[in-house]
Amino acid sequence: MTEQELPKVLITDGVHDLLINGLKTAGYYCDYMPSISLEEVRTIIHQYQGIIINSKIIVDRSFLDRATQLKFIGRLGSGLEIIDLEYAKVKGVAVHRAPDGNCDAVAEHAMGMLLSLAINLRQADWQVRQKKWEREQNRGWELMGKTIGIVGFGYTGRALAQRLIGFGLKVLAYDKYKTDYAKEMPHVVEATMEQIYQEADILSLHLPSTPETKGMVDWQYWENFKKTLVVVNTSRGNIIQTKPLLSALDSGKIIGACLDVFENEKPLTYTQQEDLLFQDLFERENVLLTPHIAGWTVESKERLAKLLLDRIMKL
């Protein structure tokens, strides 16, 4: 079979060489285009039997209608909100993902953000570099003795719970669609949301973006909590509404926030109102921010490639 006759896979984001080499060994021709735009992909997708995507590629009905030869989609990571799964099934297109590929990275990132916020690490580091020695101003607080609520107990929620062993927290977990999900983790209590509302000092969100979860964290959601709260979100930005979050920070209901994800993650597209809201958020000292990199490690890049390749090869 000539190179032109091989089934073709389009790779639209940066991946570990392991995935490219594995696909080639399996008999695929790979076009590696990590900088390609969605618009460009839509014009050439009819040429490909497979596609590897990250969040920038939206696989909706019109995309799938253009993808006349497509046999599989490989999603780097976990979120499937960018794919019309029902229509993909109708079209006979298999969808593969690897949520277990970067869950450890996300969990470690969440822990790092939480600890950094608790001990004023960012502020203290900056002050020392300015030759300022502010000890009392940087007195932190400990995780020990606190109660954390983990909402969503999939791969990342479980990975975070595993890392909390030894910190001396009470760990409450809630997953609307599971039962007996923490029976092998004796330090985790399977809780109701009401229990989390009553007891949590810290909230960590690990939810997918779905019609049910989009915008679910509004002002009323924060009002349900009986204590002041620290919130960590390393899942999806559109779960938390920005304006009510700012109001909760203003009122003192939320005393700290660690955010890796945001309602709009493209600053150049901010509306005037969004620009004002996010500028308000960015200026707060009790908010720690990162640019959606929680799952972005050297190890996770390789692990994602290996797991995705294994799943594609089972076609």
Catalytic site positions: 236, 265, 292
Contact indicator for 156, 103 with CB cutoff of 8 Å: yes
* Maximum separation of any 2 CA atoms in the chain, in Å: 72
C-alpha 39 chain-centroid distance: 24
248 closest CA partner among 233, 260, 234: 233
Non-local (6+) Cβ contacts of 144 within 8 A are 167, 168, 169
d(CA 117, CA 287): 8
d(CA 27, CA 310): 14
* Contact (Cβ atoms closer than 8 angstroms) between residue 303 and residue 14: no
